[in-house]
Structures are given as structure tokens and as C-alpha cells.
A and B are shown apart, each in its own frame.
Chain A
Amino acid sequence: QQQVKQSPQSLIVQKGGISIINCAYENTAFDYFPWYQQFPGKGPALLIAIRPDVSEKKEGRFTISFNKSAKQFSLHIMDSQPGDSATYFCAASMGGSSNTGKLIFGQGTTLQVKP
């Protein structure tokens, strides 16, 4: 019940295309859902995050879509660029001060954007 399942494991997209990564969760106590981007040799960096009371959040070329009833959320990268080539992780955490520091991560998606 603590798991977050992420798909696909890898993704190849042409420059200018849309990259879509999906995540699903079981635990309805999760109330914070961030996406992280990680380049080789670096730590994960926060990309965008959403709470379950919002169905969509957009920041630049990155959009999170959230479906609370289906317990699914997805990351859309519009106009994908070669510089977006990285590993993307979805994550979730539960509410309450004692839980906020514990992120449960998906397995990761390696995105390659071809020029």
C-alpha cells in the first residue's frame, strides 16, 4: 500500500514531441505528489508538485494531471527538448509533520529526447 508504481520504465521522444509519464498509488493518505528530475551524477531536483485538491498544475512546459478517483497522476512535458533527457521520478508523501519528510518514490523513467 506504500508503493507508487511508475511507467514506462524508459521513453524515447522526438524533439518537439510530448513526453508522458504515469504513476499510480494505493494509499489514500498520500496528500503531496512531487515529480523530480535527475541527471547523471546529480541528486534529484524538484520539477513540479501537486496536492489532491487540484486536478492539474502547469509550470512552463511541465504539467501534472491528477485523477484522485483513479489514484493516478501523470507528468506531461510539452515541446520536449534534448536537454530534458534525464531520469524522472514521481513520489508521494503523507500528511502530518512526522510524515512529510518521507517520500515514497516510483521506480523512475529514463527519458531520451532525440534531436
Chain B
Amino acid sequence: KAGVTQTPRYLIKTRGQQVTLSCSPISGHRSVSWYQQTPGQGLQFLFEYFSETQRNKGNFPGRFSGRQFSNSRSEMNVSTLELGDSALYLCASRLQETQYFGPGTRLLVL
């Protein structure tokens, strides 16, 4: 089975812009979670989607949003980018309690 794929792998944006990141889960997995990884804050949970519904949300501002499509693919969007949004954004698909992570999208905000 193919693993979790994320696109794009690298992205450079400027402050104030918005960005959309994409995640394709492992075939058959209906749950997708998103995490932000930074050197200072570590790995932090953003949100989880299951069957197109947001089931859980972390402590991030409303600029961070997501959605899931009927084929379980998910996107996350960050609007009005700030310098502090520079991070590795990781997507994970889940089967029962095990989460399988993708390689991440590295976002740099200038």
C-alpha cells in the first residue's frame, strides 16, 4: 500500500498570503489528522477529520482551517500568513489508534 502523501513538499510564501496544503491518506483510512512541527513548540495537533467532519481541534487561531473530501483526501488552509507559521506541517492517516505520518510540507513564510 502506498503511504501518506503530502503536496507540495516545500513552499515559500510571504506574510499576509494564504496557503493550501494537501494530504492523501493511506487507502482505506478515513481519519486524517494535521500537526504543526516547529523547533520551539514541537509537534502540536491542529485538527482531525473523519468522514468529512472535523472531529477534534487543537489550540490554533481561526486562520488555520481544514476540510476533508469524500475520498478521504484532506486539505488545510492557513490565511493571512505570519512569520511564526513557518513550520513543517504533517498529515497523518489513522487506522484504529495507529497514526501513519506523511513526509510533511515545509512552509517558509518571509
Q: Which residues of A contact B (CB under 8 A)?
A: 32, 34, 36, 41-46, 49, 89, 91, 93, 97-108
* Chain B contacts with A in 41-65, Cβ cutoff 8 A: 42-45, 48, 50, 55-56, 58
Contacts of A103 in B (CB 8 A): 33, 35, 43, 45, 92, 99
Q: Is B90 positioned at the interface, with any CB of A under 8 Å from its CB?
A: yes
Closest-by-CB residue of B relative to A41 is B103
Question: CA of A83 to CA of B35 in the docked complex: distance in angstroms?
Answer: 26
**Is B42 a contact partner of A107 (Cβ separation < 8 A)?**
yes
**Is B104 a contact partner of A43 (Cβ separation < 8 A)?**
yes
Whether A46 touches B100, Cβ cut-off 8 Å, given contacts A102-B33, A102-B48, A104-B45, is yes
**Is B42 a contact partner of A49 (Cβ separation < 8 A)?**
no
Interface size on B, residues (CB 8 A): 25
- List 28 contacting pairs A-B, 8 Å CB cutoff, sorted by A: A32-B97, A34-B97, A34-B99, A44-B43, A44-B90, A44-B101, A46-B100, A49-B97, A49-B98, A91-B43, A93-B97, A97-B55, A98-B55, A98-B56, A99-B56, A100-B31, A101-B50, A101-B55, A102-B33, A102-B56, A102-B58, A103-B33, A103-B35, A103-B43, A103-B99, A105-B44, A106-B42, A107-B42
**Is B43 a contact partner of A105 (Cβ separation < 8 A)?**
yes
Q: Mostly helix, strand, loop or mixed at chain A's interface?
A: loop
Q: Is B66 positioned at the interface, with any CB of A under 8 Å from its CB?
A: no
Question: CA of A103 to CA of B90 in the docked complex: distance in angstroms?
Answer: 12
Question: CA of A34 to CA of B86 in the docked complex: distance in angstroms?
Answer: 27
Contacts of B4 in A (CB 8 A): 43
Question: CA of A61 to CA of B90 in the docked complex: distance in angstroms?
Answer: 27
Contacts of A44 in B (CB 8 A): 43, 90, 101
Q: 0/1 per residue, B1-40, Cβ < 8 Å to A?
A: 0001000000000000000000000000001010100000
- CB-contact partner of B101 in A32, A45, A49, A101, under 8 A: A45
Question: CA of A35 to CA of B16 in the docked complex: distance in angstroms?
Answer: 36
Q: Is B94 positioned at the interface, with any CB of A under 8 Å from its CB?
A: yes
Contacts of B50 in A (CB 8 A): 97, 101
